Amino acid sequence: MNKKIVRADLADDLYNSYSDKFGHEEAARIIDHIILKMKNEVAAGNTIELRGFGTLYAKKRNGRKNARNPKTGETKNIPPHYVAAFKAGRELKNALLVLDAMNS
């Protein structure tokens, strides 16, 4: 059930589905291009909406004064910054509800 899917797995699946259209190396380049494009768009402050899957966007986090490193105990100020955020779409949420029901 808990299988990790990596970039190479996505490229293999794309190649297996469209092997008559392009080769394995081209499938890997397509996956790499999509991931790079998504990363660059979110880093530029744009939102990526994939209907039925979800939305990927940059979210601003407030800074904190006196944040503490739990390992060293050192305190420091953290300025406001952006982080990547993901909001699951309705179809993905519903698919996860079915998964939850199967594991109960």
| pLDDT, tens only, 33-82 | 999 999 999 999 999 999 999 999 999 999 999 899 899 989 999 999 99
Query: pTM value?
Result: 0.78
What pLDDT score does 45 carry? 95
The domain limits of the chain are 1-44
d(CA 77, CA 69) in angstroms, rounded, equals 11
d(CA 79, CA 65) in angstroms, rounded, equals 8
In the numeric block, the tokens 């004064």 are attached to 65
Check: CB of residue 59 under 8 Å from CB of residue 39. no
